[in-house]
Amino acid sequence: SFGGFEFGYIFVSAQRRRGEMEEIMRRLMKCKALIIKMPDSVPSGIARSFNSMIPVIITMFIFGIVRFITNAVGTPLNDLIFNFIQTPLTAIITSPVGIVVIYFLYMLLWGFGIHTGYIISQPILEPIFLINLTQNAAAITAGHAATHILTKPFTDSLMFMGGAGNMLALVLAILIVSKRKDYKQIAKLGFIPSLFNISEPIMFGLPVVMNPVLIIPMILVTLVSLGIGTLATVTGFMGYTYVMTPWTTPPLMGGFLATGGKIGGLITAAICLVISVLIYMPFVKAMDKELEKEEEK
């Protein structure tokens, strides 16, 4: 920690400020009236500097005013955001009902073809999960017990094996029970990408998107895996996740590495994968039968 603030909190606050400044600059740069046009004889590097001069000045002025106001009231902007936005949002998201609703909507929107990683995960969930992860790591390093269940490695290693909706489980279910050659061919093509948590070949190639028969189990496996992981964590079987792993970490290995090398993490991931395959199986069979009826007509 630095001056009483956790590193994750400082990092996320800095990232948020950067994003706000970039967005303001982007919008201001679209306003042609604010762009200083230089003659063609001026070198392009110098011309670009003048083009952005007024937007930069306005952006600095805006943040200067905000800083002046927060200094006047005696509370830094980061504290205001933390107290009135981040803390309540964290409490809602990390509550049992809140996280179930969030991931229900997350997968439902995926089912309609909306990449929720860009509208839910990155702007809302990941900043909170990053703070949880750094606090877990700091606690364990100091010899204390970790306290946060929800981290990005937790969701990646248990709920997103093969990509959103545990797509690797769907691939395996198709290879095991589907009688359709076209489905098996798509599953074979999507198998290698799913080992690195890339779900798009299956999500859009099968497709899962706009397919109600597969949207239902996709939501179910996500929520069931969330429940299994939570139970395994609080009982100590899996342990808390505190090691940041790349999202492309192959399934099963993610649970092992994220928990600092605990075999319980690997076993929990394997249990989630097997149960997810079992959930997908009857829906894959139903999809086979539905297409057979359509072809007979």
Range of the domain at 235: 94-296
Residue 280 has pLDDT above 60, yes or no: yes
Position 234 scores a pLDDT of 94
Mean pLDDT of 11-16: 59
Read off the pTM: 0.73
Cα angle 41, 44, 47; round to 5: 85
* Mean pLDDT value across residues 252-275: 95
Q: Report how far residue 263's alpha carbon sits from residue 255's, in angstroms, rounded to the nearest whole number.
A: 8
Whether 179 is covered by a domain: the verdict is yes
> If you count DSSP H runs as helices and E runs as strands, how many of each does the chain have, helices first?
14, 0
> What whole-number distance in Å separates Cα of residue 297 and Cα of residue 278?
30
pLDDT at 117: 76
pLDDT of residue 40: 73
Are 173 and 284 spatial neighbours (Cβ–Cβ below 8 Å)?
Answer: yes
Tell me, yes or no, whether 59 and 119 share the same domain.
no
Rounded to an integer, the average pLDDT of 226-251 is 94
Percent share of the chain, pLDDT over 70: 88
pLDDT digits (tens, 9 = 90+) for 2-13: 444 455 555 556
| The predicted structure's pLDDT at residue 14 | 62
54 and 99 belong to one structural domain: no
Q: To the nearest whole number, what is the mean pLDDT of the chain?
A: 85
Q: Which of 87, 112, 147 is the last residue of a domain?
A: 87
pLDDT at 93: 75
| Residue 177 amino acid letter | V
Residue 295 reports pLDDT greater than 80: no
Q: pLDDT per residue over 71-120, tens digit each?
A: 777 766 666 666 666 677 777 777 888 889 999 999 999 998 888 877 78
Domain boundary among 87, 105, 139: 87
Question: Which pLDDT value is given to residue 291?
Answer: 82
In the block, residue with structure tokens 């936005």: 85
In a shared domain, residues 38 and 168:
no
- Residues 6 or more apart whose CB falls under 8 angstroms from that of 251 comprise 157, 161, 162, 168, 195, 197, 269, 273
Q: Is residue 16 part of a domain?
A: yes
Same domain, yes or no: 63 and 174: no
My answer on whether 271 and 129 are in the same domain is: yes
- Return the higher-pLDDT residue of 165 and 47: 165
The per-residue pLDDT for range 132-155, each reduced to its tens digit, is: 999 999 999 999 999 999 999 999
Domain-terminating residue out of 35, 62, 87: 87
Residues 129 and 14 occupy one common structural domain: no
Identify whether the C-beta of residue 155 lies closer than 8 Å to the C-beta of residue 129.
yes
Give the pLDDT confidence score for residue 83 in this predicted structure: 63
Among 51, 49, 21, which residue's Cα sits nearest to residue 37?
51
Q: Same domain for 15 and 161?
A: no
